[in-house]
């Protein structure tokens, strides 16, 4: 039986009917059509589904909406401020940090949490911050460069 759930996502409040056992990932993608958040394993192994909950990266495939209550969820769709892209988005484009783009939304959210907590991260900080986000395309090099570039602009 579906139950009514209220979520705050990207600054908007949504009330949706969802199966109580469906994860935050499923509710975001299937009920709210926020398909920017990806799934690569649905077992908490790949990090593709990373979103921010009150600024902290969480794996939305391992999170139930009931667990987060009225906390603020931020997904990749909420990263840009209206027409203005987040510096991470521009830096990722310039450095070629998104190849197939599938890990990118999760990677961006982990990177944002890092920069919010530590505006001038070292490369080691970055490697740790994105160590739960698997990327199969880049070898991570361009991602480091993009996050470093964004850090200079934030």
Partner 1 sequence: MSELSILGRRLPKTNSWAHLTGSARYADDIHLPRMLYGRLLRSTRPHALIKRVDVTRALAHPGVVAIVTGADMPEKMGIMPSTQDETALAVDKVRYVGEPVAAVAALDEDSAYEALSLIDVEYEDLEPIFTIEEALEREDVKIHEEAKRANVFKEVHLSFGDLDAGFAAADHIRDDWFFFEGNTHAPIESHACVASYDADGKLTLWTSTQVPHYLHREMEKVLGLARSRIRVIATPNGGGFGGKSDPFGHEFSAALLSMRTKRPVKIGLDREEVFYAHRGRHPVKMHLRTGVKKDGEITACSLQTYLDGGAYASYGIATTYYTGALLTVTYRIPAYKFDGVRVYTNKPPCGPKRGHGTTQPRFAFECQLDKIATDLGFDPIEYRRRILQPANSRTVNELRITTMGLGDCLDAVKRSTSWERKKGQLPKGKGIGVAGSAYISGAGLPIYWNEMPHSGAEIRIDRGGGVTVMCGTSEIGQGSDNMLAAVTAETLGIFPEDVHVVSGDTSLAPVDLGSYSSRVTMMAGNATKNAGMKLRDMLFEVASEKLGAPADRLNAAYRRIFDLQDPEKHMSFVEAANLAEAKFGTLVAAGSYKPPAGIGGSYKGAGVGPTPAYSYQASVAEVTVDLETGQLTVDKITTAHDCGRALNPTNAEGQVEGSAYMGYGEIMVEEQVFRGGLHKKPSLLDYKLPTSLDTPQLEAILVETMDSEGPYGAKEAGEGPLNPVIPAIANAVYDAIGVRFDETPITAEKILDALGKRDNRGVPKDRIGPDGLADTRRDPKRALRRLSASTDARERKRVESPAE
Tokens of 148: 């470093």
In this structure, are residues 91 and 154 in contact, taking their beta carbons and an 8 Å threshold? no
Of residues 50, 60, 63, 75, which one binds partner 1 by CB under 8 A? 75
Of 67 and 131, which CB lies nearer to partner 1 in the complex structure?
131
Q: Which residues within the stretch 23-62 sit at the binding site for partner 1 (CB under 8 A)?
A: 29-30, 33-43, 45-46, 48
Tokens of 43: 């077992």
Q: Give me the DSSP letters along 95-123.
A: HT--SS-SSHHHHHHHHHHHHHH-SS--H
Of residues 18, 25, 92, 151, which one binds partner 1 by CB under 8 A? 92
CA dist., res. 46 & res. 108, Å (int) = 14
- Report in angstroms how near the CB of residue 76 gets to partner 1 at its nearest: 4
Q: CA 13: distance to chain centroid?
A: 18
CA dist., res. 18 & res. 149, Å (int) = 40
Of residues 117, 128, 152, 153, which one binds partner 1 by CB under 8 A? 128
The DSSP code for 71 is P
Of residues 20, 55, 117, 136, which one binds partner 1 by CB under 8 A? 136
**Residue 67 three-state SS:** helix
Question: Is there binding between residue 93 and partner 1 (CB under 8 A)?
Answer: yes
Question: Is there binding between residue 20 and partner 1 (CB under 8 A)?
Answer: no
List residues binding partner 1 (CB under 8 A): 19, 29-30, 33-43, 45-46, 48, 75-77, 79-80, 85, 89, 92-96, 98-105, 108, 126-128, 130-144
């Amino acid at each position: 039986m579906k139950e009514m759930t209220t979520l705050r996502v990207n600054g908007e409040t949504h009330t949706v009917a969802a199966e109580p056992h469906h994860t935050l990932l499923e509710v975001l993608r299937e009920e709210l059509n926020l398909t920017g958040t990806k799934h690569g394993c649905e077992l908490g192994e790949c990090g593709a589904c990373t979103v921010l909950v009150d600024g902290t990266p969480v794996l939305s495939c391992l999170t139930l909406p009931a667990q987060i209550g009225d906390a603020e969820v931020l997904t990749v769709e909420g990263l840009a401020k209206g027409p203005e892209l987040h510096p991470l988005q521009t830096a990722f484009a310039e450095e070629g940090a998104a190849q197939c783009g599938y890990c990118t939304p999760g990677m961006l959210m982990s990177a944002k949490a890092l920069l919010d907590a530590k505006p001038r991260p070292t490369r080691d900080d970055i490697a740790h911050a994105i160590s739960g986000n698997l990327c199969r395309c880049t070898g991570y090099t361009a991602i480091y460069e993009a996050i470093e570039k964004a850090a200079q602009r934030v």
